Amino acid sequence: MALARGRRTDRRIDYWPGFVDALSTLLLAIMFLLTVFVLAQFLLGREISGKDTALSRLNSQINELTQLLALERSTAQDKDDSLANLQASLSAAEAEKSRLEQLLAQGAGAGDAANQRAAALGGELDSQRQISQQALSQVEILNQQIAALRKQIGALEDALNVSETRDRDSNTKIADLGRRLNVALAQRVQELNRYRSDFFGRLREILADRENIRIVGDRFVFQSEVLFPTGSEVINDAGKVEMKKLADAIIELQKEIPPEINWVLRVDGHTDNKPLSGTGRYRDNWELSTARSTSVVKFLIENGVPANRLVAAGFGEFQPLDPADTEEARNKNRRIELKLTER
């Protein structure tokens, strides 16, 4: 048994060294092939790069040749154009030469006519010179007249300046007079207002017991019923008594008012808004109001009041104290108003 095992052991073969040798040989072969491939790629790249450089150089040369060819063609075209222009100029010069020769031939005959025309123009020139001399003489006369006119204008301007100076002085004086006049008028107005106050004060004292007589603003107001019957302009007896008191007060006041104050007593007639029938003496309220104010003025004149201090006016129903359409308003609106004012 022991011998049998020894014989089996001796029969085994070791393959690993051979396998390693084969593998090493294979690796060396692969490395050799890779080296050859890399070297081939390097050589091929150099060859291709050289061909690209040569190709670029050839393209540049082709472009230069193309540009030179285009330049030559342009130069040839310019030469052709210049030649055509020269030929056209030559033709025009020949035509002009022919025309000048014809004109030269015709000029020989026209010279005499030109000489005659020149002689005629010389005569006309002499005539124009004479006319110019006359015109210069007239211009000299006009210049003298203009100088004389300028002297006259200067004198007028001096006179105008003097007049303007006088006007300014006059305007200053007028302005001063205007200021003085305004002051005087203001004083007169104040005096008139004072006398008006005195006049109204006296009328209050005289007529204080009558309820149909009152003061409205700067006016004394008499109700129409105090003075007139309905629809009439004739002053009744009671009204005459009141108007006589008024006339006496005006006469007394006139003595106190300075004569330089140009005052007047205005008598205004007013009616209500009831229209008249038109069949009576008066056609409308205009006529009735005017007739009533005129009656008062005439009565005052008859009782000593100067006529130049009285003014009568009629307003009809168009200046009401109360615009309401009531009987009470109509009673207020039928009235005679007295106002002391300036003319």
Q: What are phi and psi of 76, to 5 degrees?
A: -65, -40
pLDDT-based confidence at residue 1 (cuts at 50, 70, 90): very low
pLDDT at 3: 47
Under a CB-based contact definition with an 8 Å cutoff, are residues 287 and 271 in contact? Answer: no
Q: How far apart are CA 308 and CA 192, in angstroms?
A: 17
Tell me how crowded residue 228 is: count the other CB atoms within 10 A of its CB: 23
Greatest mean pLDDT among 90-104, 120-134, 204-218, 307-321: 307-321
Contacts of 210 (CB under 8 A, 6+ apart): 226, 242
Residues 5-49: tens digit of each pLDDT? 555 555 567 778 888 888 889 889 999 999 999 988 888 888 888
Mean pLDDT lowest among 179-188, 264-273, 284-293: 179-188
* pLDDT at residue 195 tops 90: no
Under a CB-based contact definition with an 8 Å cutoff, are residues 200 and 215 in contact? Answer: yes
pLDDT at 175: 75
Residues 64-86: tens digit of each pLDDT? 888 888 887 887 788 778 878 88
The larger pLDDT score, comparing residue 312 to residue 69, is at 312
- Average pLDDT, integer, range 81-93: 82
- Whole-model pTM? 0.45
Which domains occur in the chain, in start order? Answer: 185-342 (3.30.1330.60)
Radius of gyration of the chain (CA): 70
Beta-strand relationship, 213-216 and 310-314: unpaired
Contacts of 223 (CB under 8 A, 6+ apart): 212, 213, 331, 332, 334, 335
Extended strands (E) in 170-326: 213-216, 219-223, 263-270, 310-314
